[in-house]
Chains A and B, each alone.
Chain A
Amino acid sequence: MALLEVRNLRTTFKTEDGTITAVNGLSFSLDAGQTLGIVGESGSGKSVTSLSIMRLIDRPGRIESGEIVFDGRDLLKLRDEEMRHVRGHRIAMIFQDPMTSLNPVLTIGEQIAEVVRLHLGRNHREARETAIEMLRKVRIPSPEKRVDDYPHQFSGGMRQRAMIAMALSCNPQLLIADEPTTALDVTIQAQVLELMNELQRETGAAIILITHDLGVVAETCKDVLVMYGGNMVEYGDAKQIFAEPRMPYTQGLLASLPRLDAPANARLKPIPGQPPNLHRMPPGCAFAPRCTYRIERCDAPVPVTDLGGGHLARCWRCTETLAPVGAAQ
């Protein structure tokens, strides 16, 4: 059985210009110990999805409908205090900017120890020991000294590692990492990703890694979920999707990247048009206004097609062999 099963999730926000549907009927599942990458452009609903799983959507937002079945229980049906226990203890989250989630007036050690005391019921001294141990695990040098540092005394990469230490200190079954390396330099990003992989092997936690960097997904995730305009447009094994994307947006995304392994002078193939505006979504396929393969049928709501082997695509034409993107222009 899957560790996490999201079914038909719909999350909306009331804005001055009307209600937008940030996540629109999303379904996916994740097995224990697996890593799922969620990619998509800015505003496609990646963060709202993870905040919905954590039940951290506040007004003007609302989870309208759906189920989030985690370890056999629908999180949306839990009482607030039950959910508080799930958060941090069973599901932990790390954010793009660690400064927003670290308390500037408490030392790094106090913050990790607090989590440990709260969730694992350790006493003061034990909790501090655990904090040092966790900092050592994420390779903070001389952790017994740095445990008393304040967040501002850490560099960006160290803060992100401290966040990982805190998130993993209670052995969660699921770690949600929302753009954990986007604010970091590539050499530091490589360290953090390596660390996450290693800790996952050790603890067996499942990971949802949200990123806009397809390279990061390719390096760390077994499965990938591509989002566009608030919903899944393609899902499946990362190897398979990178090798043979079936949905034109995914195809376009992969084709538009400047790649180190492509001829340096090769002209890039952009996806034409602009990202979708959630206030004015097309009636059918969200990608239709930018799609080279659009046909009349695309203006009707698009069902998900199961292409076999766990590969799903939301596109009317995903079973046809389409000419490579760019060739048709």
Chain B
Amino acid sequence: MSDEPLLEVTDLKKYFPVNAGVLGRHVADVKAVDGVSFSVGKGETLGLVGESGSGKTTIGRLVLKLLPATSGTIRFEGRDISAISSRQTRELRRRMQIIFQDPYGSLNPRMTIGEIVSEPLAIHGLAKGKARMERTVELLRLVGLQSSHLNRYPNEFSGGQRQRVGIARALAVEPQFIVCDEPVSALDVSIQAQVLNLLEDLRERLGLTYLFISHDLSVVRHISTRVAVLYLGKIFEVADRGALYEHPLHPYTQALLAAIPVPDPALQGTQKRVLLSGDVPTAMAPPSGCRFHPRCPFAFDRCSIEEPEMRDVGGGHMVACHAVENGSIR
């Protein structure tokens, strides 16, 4: 890992306006991403976990410039890419790519596998004619598919195979950095492991860096070197994998980890269960102060008034929580 992070995001915000009435008057904002900062070092995999609606996909799309940010800066390879031109954005796509969750919806059903995988090569003028064909076959092999698949259509493939096609397409331009947005969530358990192993192998072989988005904490633990926990558009805790899973500090991270059912009936009843009460509030009107306070078993008066700031508790383990700050959680 070099000193300079490959990706550095500072105070990133994305508000979606909510319009209502016949005149479509702007009545509120969905604060999908509400001041998020993190960095990803070269060769690292940063896992981004959070429940539905916490803003994971939005962050991925902002980083890739598929969506304009409301405010904040994004630096990639040391360069501020927050306000670059569309030509520069296209150039950037050669360095950053995305793999989507839905292996069914993300491939054009009317294109053959060969056309899908070679399209980025054509768009970026990377290879022509025979060379392009050869490169396409090479990409298919890389993800465990064969040249005999070239002329077939997505509907002839299973979910796991389609996800491989999506990965081959993302790799076509030889990117440095890939946002993986729930790449295995739609797959059967028996196939998930195939795709996770493939992503790991490719990371080793091609020196890739991942931002790995998932709501599955077991999967994130397996693949990430560092993990960030997101709640209602805010990062609550970031730490190295070991620290986050063995010594989680933020009450939300603790509850999240305790809520995962462990596939071992012999362990039942031995685990301590922190059952969170209440539902996740909406991102349109996040609670005051710490946005977790209505559900937090540790909440005290300061929590509903003042928003806690991210603080380093040592070794790059960052937590935003008043109870951690004043030492009642350690």
User: Which A residues are closer than 8 A to B by beta carbons?
Assistant: 41-42, 155-158, 185-191, 193-194, 212-219, 238-239, 242-243, 249, 252-254, 256-261, 264, 267-272, 274-275
Contacts and interface: CB of A to CB of B under 8 A. Distances in A.
Given A186-B215, A267-B197, A274-B161, A256 B192 contact: yes
Nearest to A141: B278
A219 B193 contact: no
B268 interface: yes
B275 interface: yes
B212 to A, nearest CB: 12
A189 B216 CA distance: 13
Interface of B: 51-52, 158-161, 188-194, 196-197, 200, 215, 217-219, 221-223, 241-242, 245, 255-268, 273, 275-277, 279-280
Given A242-B264, A269-B193, A270-B191, A260 B217 contact: yes
Most chain A CB within a 10 A radius of its CB, from B189, B196, B264:
B189
Given A254-B263, A257-B218, A268-B197, A214 B275 contact: no
Contact of B190 (A193, A256, A267): A256
A238 B191 contact: no
Given A158-B279, A269-B193, A185 B215 contact: yes
A258 B215 contact: no
24 contacts: A42-B159, A185-B215, A186-B215, A186-B259, A212-B188, A212-B189, A218-B261, A238-B265, A252-B190, A256-B193, A257-B263, A258-B218, A259-B218, A259-B263, A260-B221, A260-B262, A261-B262, A261-B267, A264-B241, A268-B193, A270-B190, A270-B193, A270-B197, A271-B194
A188 to B, nearest CB: 7
A258 B265 contact: no
A264 B242 contact: yes
A252 B193 CA distance: 11
A189 B52 CA distance: 12
B263 A258 contact: no
Nearest to A218: B265
A191 B276 CA distance: 8
B264 A264 contact: no
Contacts of B279: 155, 157-158, 188
Given A239-B265, A270-B191, A275-B191, A185 B260 contact: no
A93 B221 CA distance: 35
Given A185-B51, A186-B215, A274 B261 contact: no
Given A186-B51, A218-B263, A267-B200, 6 more contacts: A41-B189, A185-B280, A219-B268, A258-B192, A261-B262, A275-B158
